Structure 1
Amino acid sequence: MKNFLVKKVPLLLLFFTICNLQSQNISKNKKALLTSIEKHQNALIEISDTIWTLAETAFEETESSKILSDYAEKQGFTVERGVAEMPTAFVATYGSGKPVISVLGEFDALPGISQKAEPTKNPLKEGAAGHGCGHNLFGAGSLGAAIAIKELIEQGKIKGTIKFFGTPSEEKFFGKIWMVNAGLWDDVDVNISWHPGPDTRADVQSSLALIDFKVEFFGQAAHASADPWNGRSASDALELYTAGVNYYREHVKPTVRMHYHIQDGGQVVNVVPDYSRLWMRVRDTKRSGMMPVYERVVEMAQGAAILANVEYKVSLISGIYEVLVNRTGGKIMQKNLEMLGPINYTDEEISFGKKIQEATGKPQIGMDSEIRALKETKEHPGGGSTDVGDVSWNVANINLSVTTAPKDTPWHSWAVVACGGMSIGHKGMIYSSKAMSMTMLDLFENPELVTKVKAEYKERKGDEVYKAIIPEGPPPIPTKK
């Protein structure tokens, strides 16, 4: 991999971070965490950069998973690979007894957004995948936090168990659902997660529940000019279906989102197509609001099939819950962010960020890592979806967002890929390791905090009985060619 001008995290800057913290009322154990993370930082950056270059997509993250699990094993973790019938899923465990604290790591990329670590659009490999959601940083940063905690357990300074979950396919099939369904969090007291973002905050906002399904239409092929009356067009049904969905948009609540991807609308223009297929997605801020919309949109497939005189089939792919917020945990995280303070950037990094903003048509205001007050939790947030939601309905969960790209950067884009392969992303990743490990340490050292976090989880969950939204059978692992 090329050595870009601003690729590595300035060691001097990290030294000053420790000095600043030493002037505060920070415990010896937290200082030890920071020292551990900075000891491993070059290895963590190398892991992240290698995963960034590999850019492996959903359920195909063979090398990325191996890099993370091998490094965890090298550090003394017991690693179980291929959990929940997914070859790239794993659990790395160290310690024994309570509390059991876990941390999530993702590592899958997005198709078609390959990009060099440059502030103008320039694919590393034309048409290839790229880490447009920063999951190369996600996995490595979480592993850094787990290792720091592991070393304190090993030294006898704290007691309990640390688990690092390697979770594949967040961008497509949502691998955590199958891991939850396999009971992998049943013995965990509190889970910690982070995500790369345009700002740094203890994340106390929920996400959108989501359901994915495939709609297929089956007709009769015929010559499109010579005898079209002998054909029954699956493409007609597809168009009628999407028209129905689009008319329905006017009559759903503002919190609902519906979108689709036409995967097969016919192959050639002179044949009445006998097959068509699209991937359909429905979201809402609450699963309870999403399900009636889903049921209605499924019914529309039958209507489209009747109109086009074809057969149809609807197949569930998977679905995820909204994140169950835990403000008690968020307050613990917030204190550690305030202790760490904001990330500092060099003039080169600020310039890089402004060039990203210029290239994507955004105001050139640079980076934003300011630590603001903890926000109020919105009843109906905007944004995207994540299978962390399913984890959060099965164990108390604390979320964190850390700056890894400039303000207002379009997510799932080449711009995020660019930042994830250089020092802006690296700094955010190392910062996430520190913030998460410090928060985990608070839980290990203070059993009453664990009790309070779990009590809020139980109160917010209420009588809801979690049920995974997945079809019967194993996860949809792609067949190797």
Structure 2
Amino acid sequence: MCITEKVSTLIDSKSQLFIDVSNYIWEFAETRFEEFRSANLLCETLEKEGFIVERRIAGLETGFIASYGSGQPVIAILGEFDALAGLSQKADITSHDPIISNGNGHGCGHNLLGAGALAAAVAVKDYMQQNGLSGTVRYYGCPAEESGYGKTFMAKAGLFADVDTAFSWHPGTVNAVMHCSSNAVIHAHFKFKGRSAHAAAAPHLGRSALDAVEMMNIGVNYMREHMIDEARVHYAITNTGGFAPNVVQPEAEVTYLIRAPKPSQVKDLFERVKNIARGAALMSETKMEHHIEGACANLIPNATLERIMHKHLNALGVPAITEEEIRLSKAIYESTSKEDKLTAAAQVGKTLAPKLAERPLADFIAPYSKNLSFMAGSTDVADVSWNVPTAQCVTATWAFATPFHTWQAVAQGKSLYAHKAMLLAGKAIACTAIEAMQNQKVIAKAKAELLDRLDGETYDCLVPDEVQPPKMSKQDPKLLAKV
């Protein structure tokens, strides 16, 4: 029996366990750094499966590493489990229908991601036991991917120093192996302090912090003309200083995401944004403070591992799709905007687009492309990829044209086809990890490729040493006991 058949049997035998974990995490819907129940569930499940679990790693209250085996090679499988704010949505409902108004929801499918990675880690462990395979498999419980950058803190702490290869995956609308780079990002917060005054009786005595925020934003908007096309800068005002227009706002705050293809470019843009903030403070006669909340590097692909993963994904094949699943996916597809449909059609091409519009679940494995693609977004998997050869796949957990970070993604998070695609990802990761463990030449080639792609550069974490993950458990001592 080949690796794919053995791994499929191992994962299928415990499929309900992985599905249950995914569904529980979907229901918990905990946002960044607050994934206490999700992390605890994963830790307890891994312990029951024979892993040794180390909790609260790298200063992350919900971060952990679960290990099985000993010695080299060391294989890392990355799991995520954080949700997004404001995306509460009932499952398998094809119109917007929140469970809780303004509640949280898994709009990026990290409930599936974490459980699929769990399936992979358990399958590798079971295969090692049955076949006397030596080495170590680790499940990295990675909190706060959504702008919290848990893996960045792990990488900064050196937790991947002895790892030989790393694997992950992500929910999506196609079945493919990712060969792409991404934007690096710095997430920074700016706070302005002014002087309050009666806006009508004594406006001359006031110094508006809100004016400073607005002038900063205007200045950054003018900067956009003078930065590289691939860069992205976006912001949200997090504190307007109050709701009374007849009071000069004594404080105001704004948070920024600054992205560019290379860490050095992000650093340069960040300096320019800071100078604009200083200028806004000067013009408004306010004081400005800033701090970095988090950051991550750009993704370094690894074709050596990706080609092996693609081989196994093809050998596994796509799960069977029922007509009932097609009906749900079709209704989800119809709920998306015209712009979403056109964007999705452009991505897959004229041949596939009509077929997927009619039957919106991808029933094929996309060809592996040696041409490097670019993702304008960011992921903290990137910081792992600077330290360790890393490969990822995507599987069709969602209907064609489903946008990320939307209620439609949340609605499909407990669907039968999402679970099937989740298990497919787990199988592809496990097969690739096992092949790497059995063949040191694969690992050596992957490491040589990483060095070649870095071209003399070394990992320099964008998060300053003084920046530490927040301690969210202080807000609720009861949650602390559950970790």
Q: TM-score if structure 1 supplies the norm length? A: 0.92
Find the counterpart in structure 2 of residue 275 from structure 1: 251
| Partner residue of 1:58 out of 32, 35, 39 | 32
Find the counterpart in structure 1 of residue 59 from structure 2: 85
Report how far residue 285 of structure 1 moved. Answer: 1.8
Residues 52 and 131 of structure 1 are in contact (CA less than 8 Å); yes or no, is this contact kept in structure 2?
Answer: yes
Report how far residue 353 of structure 1 moved. Answer: 1.2
Partners of 1:455 and 1:339 lie apart in 2 by: 27
Report how far residue 400 of structure 1 moved. Answer: 1.1
Residues 369 and 402 of structure 1 are in contact (CA less than 8 Å); yes or no, is this contact kept in structure 2?
Answer: no
Report how far residue 399 of structure 1 moved. Answer: 1.2
Find the counterpart in structure 1 of residue 75 from structure 2: 101
Report how far residue 155 of structure 1 moved. Answer: 2.3
Counterparts in 2 of 1:220-299, with a 5 A limit? 220-267=195-242, 268-299=244-275
Report how far residue 325 of structure 1 moved. Answer: 0.7
Q: TM-score if structure 2 supplies the norm length? A: 0.92
Counterparts in 2 of 1:282-431, with a 5 A limit? 282-362=258-338, 363=341, 364-365=357-358, 366-378=360-372, 381-431=374-424
Partners of 1:440 and 1:425 lie apart in 2 by: 23
Alignment pair present for 1:141 and 2:116? yes
Partners of 2:139 and 2:407 lie apart in 1 by: 29
Partners of 1:101 and 1:147 lie apart in 2 by: 12
Q: Gaps spanning 5+ residues in structure 2: where?
A: 342-356, 477-483
Alignment pair present for 1:155 and 2:133? no
| Partner residue of 2:104 out of 100, 124, 129 | 129
Counterparts in 2 of 1:190-205, with a 5 A limit? 190-205=165-180
Partners of 2:33 and 2:296 lie apart in 1 by: 17
Report how far residue 372 of structure 1 moved. Answer: 2.1
Find the counterpart in structure 2 of residue 110 from structure 1: 84
Partners of 1:310 and 1:444 lie apart in 2 by: 58
Helix, strand or coil at the partner of 1:123: coil
Residues 174 and 366 of structure 2 are in contact (CA less than 8 Å); yes or no, is this contact kept in structure 1?
Answer: no
Residues 4 and 315 of structure 2 are in contact (CA less than 8 Å); yes or no, is this contact kept in structure 1?
Answer: no
Find the counterpart in structure 2 of residue 171 from structure 1: 146
Find the counterpart in structure 1 of residue 190 from structure 2: 215
Task: Letter of the 2:212 partner, please give it.
Answer: A
| Partner residue of 1:480 out of 450, 475, 481 | 475
Residues 404 and 428 of structure 1 are in contact (CA less than 8 Å); yes or no, is this contact kept in structure 2?
Answer: yes
Helix, strand or coil at the partner of 2:410: helix
Residues 231 and 272 of structure 1 are in contact (CA less than 8 Å); yes or no, is this contact kept in structure 2?
Answer: yes
* Change in 2 beyond 3 A, CA 1:54/1:330: same
CA deviations over 1:74-114 (Å, ceiling 9, x no partner): 01011111111112111110111221111000000000100
Helix, strand or coil at the partner of 2:387: coil
Alignment pair present for 1:449 and 2:423? no
Residues 30 and 441 of structure 1 are in contact (CA less than 8 Å); yes or no, is this contact kept in structure 2?
Answer: no
Partners of 1:307 and 1:214 lie apart in 2 by: 19
Q: Gaps spanning 5+ residues in structure 1: where?
A: 1-25
Name the count of aligned residue pairs: 454
Partners of 2:94 and 2:77 lie apart in 1 by: 31
Helix, strand or coil at the partner of 1:437: helix
Task: Letter of the 2:268 partner, please give it.
Answer: P
Partners of 1:178 and 1:106 lie apart in 2 by: 14
Partners of 2:292 and 2:79 lie apart in 1 by: 26
Find the counterpart in structure 2 of residue 12 from structure 1: none
Residues 211 and 320 of structure 1 are in contact (CA less than 8 Å); yes or no, is this contact kept in structure 2?
Answer: yes
Report how far residue 334 of structure 1 moved. Answer: 0.9
Helix, strand or coil at the partner of 2:288: strand
CA deviations over 1:206-231 (Å, ceiling 9, x no partner): 11110111111111000111111110
Partners of 1:355 and 1:269 lie apart in 2 by: 45
Residues 189 and 293 of structure 2 are in contact (CA less than 8 Å); yes or no, is this contact kept in structure 1?
Answer: yes
Report how far residue 72 of structure 1 moved. Answer: 0.5
Helix, strand or coil at the partner of 1:272: coil
Partners of 1:244 and 1:422 lie apart in 2 by: 46
Helix, strand or coil at the partner of 1:119: coil
* Change in 2 beyond 3 A, CA 1:314/1:473: closer
Report how far residue 124 of structure 1 moved. Answer: 1.6
Find the counterpart in structure 1 of residue 425 from structure 2: 432
Task: Letter of the 1:57 partner, please give it.
Answer: T
Partners of 2:327 and 2:377 lie apart in 1 by: 29
